[in-house]
Amino acid sequence: MNKKLTVIDSRGEVLSCVLSPARSYEEQLDELFKFGKSGGHHVSFDGRSVKAVDCFCQETLSDFPVLSLEDCDEEVRLSWCREEKRRGPIQDLHSHTYYSFCGKDRPEAIVEAAIAGGVELFGICDHNYGVGFGRKDAYKAPVDTVPLTYGKHALRRYFDHIDLIREKYADRIRILRGIEVATDAAIGKVILPEDADISFFDYCLIEHLDHESSNTSGDLFAFAERCGCHRVGVAHTDLFAFIGQKGEDPYRYFKRMAECNIFWEMNVSYDSIHKYREHPYMLRFFEDAEQQAIVRESGVRVSVGFDGHRVEDYRPDRVVAACHRLTAMGIKLAFEE
Ligand SMILES: [Zn+2]
Ligand SMILES: [Zn+2]
């Protein structure tokens, strides 16, 4: 039976072609790209992506993530055809500015990179301790010199600044005002002070939930309530492993998250600050149909975040691909209508 191959191109368009099982896919894709036998390029296809590669230097010229490869009764078609697939909004809900000690960019710089990359919903989500202390020397100072507490206006000022950025770009991109909340009490002064109010943010991302020294004590629901934001996300955490360790049923846990407006982040970072590693839980999720089915059926929302700290490292194509893949799986994105 012929196979319909659906991919996402570099501009985020969903394209399809129909391949025959009688010949190698790569050979057919070479024809589709009109590379010819003696040309300087060829296609490499591993089931996950279609890559156009320069034969001489082996450089990848384009890389189209595969959305699906399914049986179909259409005739072989070695040309791309644009698909009218349901297309979720392209979102990146995890980005850092110079408010984070590990970030360095002005908010405008990362917003403009997001717009150029086709992102439609963009969440700025700096670390609570960067925002709260403002200065690294205050954050580094011993607790008896500068205690774990923020000035009354620190979080508000950051919020107001991001709010101005939101207004400035309102006709080009939708911006959300977020904050990433560190919860590992063993790391000096990163956790949110007890009296800090973050409930006015559009959302927060909780990190370190699965650390032994997390001040959430592993109780996501209680901590989300303490945060008080309308929506709360769990950043870069292997929730299937976490739920398994608690001895709970993943479907029920995710369903409860859905009921409490708590979403799960697929973190697609791939940059210098994270040493070009990809999160194994994210890679696994995109491979594992069983995990995908549990998430889809539970109704829990999933967010996509690049976790950018350096605008020159930003890879919005990874964000676009992840949003398309989730949408194609029938999973709703966070903040999707
Ligand atoms: Zn984080
Ligand atoms: Zn982050």
**What is the per-residue pLDDT across 174-225, written as a single tens digit (0 to 9) for each?**
999 999 999 999 999 999 999 999 999 999 999 999 999 999 999 999 999 9
Strand locations in 216-315 (E):
231-234, 262-267, 302-305
Query: Mean pLDDT, to the nearest integer, of 109-119?
Result: 97
Strand locations in the chain (E):
2-8, 14-19, 41-45, 49-54, 60-72, 77-82, 91-95, 121-127, 174-182, 203-207, 231-234, 262-267, 302-305
Please check whether residue 2 is in contact with residue 71, taking contact to mean a CB–CB distance below 8 angstroms: yes
Which residue has tokens 């039976």?
1
For residue 124, the CA-to-ligand 1 centroid distance in Å is 13
Q: Is the pLDDT of residue 301 over 90?
A: yes
Ligand nearest to the CA of residue 235, numbered in listed order? 1
Q: How many CA atoms lie within 13 A of 10 on its CB side?
A: 8
User: In Å, what is the CA distance from 240 to each residue of 8, 69, 181, 292, 294?
Assistant: 28, 26, 21, 11, 10
Q: Is the pLDDT of residue 79 over 70?
A: yes
Quick one: pLDDT at residue 39?
A: 67
For residue 204, the CA-to-ligand 1 centroid distance in Å is 11
Q: Is the pLDDT of residue 243 over 80?
A: yes
For residue 168, the CA-to-ligand 1 centroid distance in Å is 27
Q: Is the pLDDT of residue 251 over 70?
A: yes
Ligand nearest to the CA of residue 96, numbered in listed order? 2
Q: State what percent of residues in the chain have pLDDT above 70.
A: 97
For residue 297, the CA-to-ligand 2 centroid distance in Å is 28
What angle is formed at CA 327 by the lines to CA 6 and CA 44, rounded to 5 degrees?
30
Question: Which residues, including other chains, have CB under 8 Å from residue 131's CB and lie 6 or more apart?
Answer: 99, 100, 154, 155, 158, 179
Quick one: pLDDT at residue 216?
A: 97
Q: Is the pLDDT of residue 38 over 70?
A: no
Alpha carbon distance 129, 22 (integer Å): 58
pLDDT digits (tens, 9 = 90+) for 146-159: 999 998 899 999 99
Please check whether residue 198 is in contact with residue 58, taking contact to mean a CB–CB distance below 8 angstroms: no
Q: What distance, in Å, lies between the first and last C-alpha atoms of the chain?
A: 37
Query: pLDDT class for 36, splitting at 50, 70, 90?
Result: low
Query: Mean pLDDT, to the nearest integer, of 131-158?
Result: 94
For residue 235, the CA-to-ligand 1 centroid distance in Å is 6
Structural domains present in the chain:
2-82 (no CATH), 91-328 (3.20.20.140)
For residue 125, the CA-to-ligand 2 centroid distance in Å is 7
Residues with CB under 5 A from ligand 1 (ion): 207, 235
Residue 227 exposed, middle or buried by CB count within 10 Å (0-12, 13-18, 19+): buried
Query: Mean pLDDT, to the nearest integer, of 33-50?
Result: 81
For residue 228, the CA-to-ligand 1 centroid distance in Å is 19
